């Protein structure tokens, strides 16, 4: 497929995201997503962040397998989670669950620096290569257990988690700056909720449920 073909598919993806947003408006509390987020979704080459054989399907509004029983989230969810972060150009962002790097690329367009943790070494290596090829220089990746965040690089203005723990990991809350915001799916596999976690300037934590979702479980949580 040519660059023009992919560009046309990307524009259709934006139409699908906008329609999904409108039909979900009562649950997510808005009719449209931030224009900056939609602009970036229309720019980042999603087909460069999926396995080669799935490139023709990269812009369909659904999750796709990326190996190791993992998936790349559907475009609507990527756009919604990014929108809910309320990113600023000066933000330092922690991402848990790099996958092949697509969400990190979207974040990198909107924030100063992205730190991303991936538990599977081969995915982390591929993501770094794909991000480098696409020209992203403000993303740093490490192989590790995302449950514990990346304390050496924190605290962070924003956090995004692309796998679901049953409970929000305390280490992530600790690494969130005052006035910071986290977007995370959490809950039992059949009853996960996409949540926004906010920490006030005084350090008080509040949560808001947005909509029901289905993510893979966050690996590496300790057994209590």
pLDDT of residue 223: 61
**How far is 162 from 24, CA to CA, in rounded Å?**
20
* Alpha-helix runs per DSSP H in the chain: 3-23, 25-28, 35-41, 75-85, 102-110, 121-133, 170-175
| 92-146 confidence digits (pLDDT tens) | 999 999 999 999 999 999 999 999 999 999 999 999 999 999 999 999 999 999 9
Average pLDDT, the chain: 94
What is the pTM for the complete model shown?
0.94
**How far is 31 from 28, CA to CA, in rounded Å?**
8
Is the pLDDT confidence value at 224 over 60? no
* 76 CB-near residues (< 8 Å, 6+ apart): 16, 17, 20, 21, 61
Task: Indicate which residues carry an active-site annotation.
Answer: 73
Domains, the chain: 3-213 (3.40.50.150)
Q: How remote is the C-alpha of 9 from its chain's centroid? A: 21
Classify burial at 76, counting beta carbons within 10 Å of its beta carbon; exposed 0-12, middle 13-18, buried 19 or more.
buried
């Amino acid at each position: 497929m040519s660059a023009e073909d992919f560009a046309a598919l990307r524009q259709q993806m934006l139409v699908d995201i906008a329609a999904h947003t409108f039909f979900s408006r009562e649950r997510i509390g808005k009719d449209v997503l931030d224009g900056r987020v939609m602009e970036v979704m229309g720019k980042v080459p999603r087909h460069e962040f999926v396995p080669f054989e799935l490139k023709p399907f990269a812009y369909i509004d659904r999750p796709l397998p990326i190996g190791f029983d993992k998936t790349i989230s559907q475009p609507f969810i990527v756009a919604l989670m990014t929108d809910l972060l309320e990113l600023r150009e000066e933000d330092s962002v922690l991402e848990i669950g790099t996958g092949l790097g697509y969400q990190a690329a979207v974040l990198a367009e909107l924030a100063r620096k992205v730190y991303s943790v991936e538990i599977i070494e081969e995915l982390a290596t591929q993501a770094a290569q794909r991000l480098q090829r696409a020209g992203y220089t403000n993303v740093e990746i490490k192989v590790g257990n995302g449950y514990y965040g990346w304390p050496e690089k924190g605290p962070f203005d924003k956090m995004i988690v692309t796998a679901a723990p049953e409970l929000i990991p305390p280490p992530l809350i600790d690494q969130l700056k005052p006035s910071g915001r986290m977007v995370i799916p959490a809950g039992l596999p059949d009853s996960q909720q996409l949540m926004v976690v906010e920490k006030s300037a005084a350090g008080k934590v509040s949560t808001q449920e947005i909509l029901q979702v289905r993510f893979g479980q966050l690996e590496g949580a300790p057994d209590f």
